[in-house]
């Protein structure tokens, strides 16, 4: 049975070129990059090269980017780092009700233990933000606004440049979680106008366990992982040299894909998937903004179908998709993102995310369309 993977927003397969770039860090250049002797100099140089490659992918200067253990740490660090650094200016944070849990749970933690006040912006039925609501939420003591560039479940792309301009008018800093946008759409931190931006390697065919946080120069920021002084004191701890080098190679490959028009190619596959399913099935809803979204992502609800059952049935046929974020896949509660859209229970229970990647082609799309139609019809027949 051939296998088809369409859950690339959860993670991506590591590119063979990335593995080849990483292996020497285990076998040859295995020294501690913080050491000043010969064993440390070579991996330190490779980390410098990787930093430049990752920074280039987001239009940033290498010295303003430091590496983390992943997107969650980068998000956590951004919120905590700004709140601590700007505690004299205020403790109010504005974010969105449909952010990743790495933001929402850290915001709750800051409320409970650090006296922060958090405003969570609502969205409309397509997951879009009202900029007037943002303007009304901002206060003189607002220190940070955090809104993601692309929603991991819906694929929605937010107008971060407009959000940043509004926030800066009131003196607030702006953080952007760009983890699921990285490598799928062009990113330029200057064009976005943000002060901090989070990214992760494993979303672009790089290794798990390596992310990065970009912090604009002179942005107030207080590190909370302290120790040996690595990363100019902004994130201490022995370097994950192999992971960082893998991130660098993955960033190079992602830049090449974007330059070659991959964005349009994968959008055409996504549209083929949507059209094929909707032409053959009634009671199918596209969740999210159909216009402003990632080229690889579609979130569909199937009326009178249990989403979990559909995912499991497709898995038995070798097709990997998901009901939402992999980070909350063990939860029995409906997705907070879809709840935020105001969906009724019948649509909530039937939501499925398809997220395409470099391993998918038109033949796979057609196979998945056939399989989805067959399994939906079977599940509907059981409840008829």
Active-site residue, selected from the candidate residues 176, 205, 236, 327: 327
Q: Rounded CA gap, 257 and 261, in Å?
A: 7
| Whether 148 contacts 96, CB under 8 Å | yes
> Is 327 among the catalytic positions?
yes
DSSP output for 96-157: ETTS-HHHHHHHHHHHHHH--EEEEE---TTS---HHHHHHH--TTEEEEE--SB-TTT-BB
Q: Rounded CA gap, 6 and 73, in Å?
A: 26
Number of Cβ within 10 Å of residue 124's Cβ equals 12
Q: Rounded CA gap, 349 and 244, in Å?
A: 39
Degrees to nearest 5, angle at CA 339 with 81 and 75? 15
Q: Rounded CA gap, 315 and 284, in Å?
A: 20
Number of Cβ within 10 Å of residue 229's Cβ equals 10
Q: Which residues contact 194 (CB under 8 A, 6 or more apart)?
A: 160, 164, 174, 175, 176, 216
**For the stretch 233-245, what's the b/e string if a residue is b when 16 or more beta carbons lie within 10 angstroms of its beta carbon?**
ebbeeebbbbbbb
What is the spatial order of strands in the sheet that 284-287 belongs to?
284-287, 297-302, 351-355
> What crossing angle do the helices spanning 241-259 and 38-57 adopt, rounded to 10°?
30
| Whether 77 contacts 213, CB under 8 Å | yes
| Whether 149 contacts 192, CB under 8 Å | yes
Report residue 166 as tokens.
């509004």
**Residues classed as catalytic:** 327
């Amino acid at each position: 049975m051939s296998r088809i993977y369409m859950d690339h927003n959860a993670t991506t397969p590591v590119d063979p070129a990335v593995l080849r770039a990483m292996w020497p860090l285990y076998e040859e250049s295995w020294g501690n990059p913080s050491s000043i002797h010969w064993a440390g100099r070579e991996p330190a140089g490779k980390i410098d090269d990787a930093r430049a490659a990752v920074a280039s992918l987001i239009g940033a200067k290498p010295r303003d980017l430091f590496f983390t253990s992943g997107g969650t740490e980068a998000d956590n660090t951004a919120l905590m780092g700004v709140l601590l650094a700007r505690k004299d200016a205020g403790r109010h944070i504005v974010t969105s009700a449909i952010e990743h849990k790495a933001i929402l749970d850290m915001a709750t933690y800051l409320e409970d233990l650090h006296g922060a006040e958090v405003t969570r912006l609502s969205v409309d039925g397509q997951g879009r933000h009202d900029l007037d609501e943002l303007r009304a939420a901002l206060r003189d003591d607002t220190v940070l606004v955090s809104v993601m560039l692309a929603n991991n479940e819906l694929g929605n792309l937010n107008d971060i440049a407009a959000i940043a301009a509004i926030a800066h008018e009131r003196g607030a800093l702006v953080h952007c979680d760009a983890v699921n946008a990285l490598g799928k759409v062009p990113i330029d931190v200057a064009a976005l106008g943000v002060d901090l931006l989070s990214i992760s390697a494993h979303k672009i065919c790089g290794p798990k366990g390596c992310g990065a946080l970009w912090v604009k120069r002179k942005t107030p920021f207080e590190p909370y992982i302290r120790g040996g002084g690595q990363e100019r004191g902004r994130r201490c701890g022995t370097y994950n040299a192999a992971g960082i080098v893998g991130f660098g190679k993955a960033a190079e490959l992602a830049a090449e894909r974007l330059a070659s028009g991959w964005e349009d190619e994968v959008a055409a596959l996504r549209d083929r998937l949507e059209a094929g399913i909707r032409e053959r099935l009634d009671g199918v809803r596209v969740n999210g903004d159909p216009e402003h979204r990632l080229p690889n992502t579609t979130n569909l609800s199937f009326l009178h179908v249990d989403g979990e059952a559909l995912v499991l049935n497709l898995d038995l046929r070798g097709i990997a998709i998901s009901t939402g974020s992999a980070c909350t896949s063990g939860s029995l509660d409906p997705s907070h993102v879809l709840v935020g859209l105001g969906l009724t229970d019948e649509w909530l229970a039937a939501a499925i995310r398809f997220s395409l990647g470099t391993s998918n082609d038109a033949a796979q799309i057609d196979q998945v369309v056939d399989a989805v139609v067959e399994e939906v019809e079977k599940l509907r027949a059981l409840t008829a």
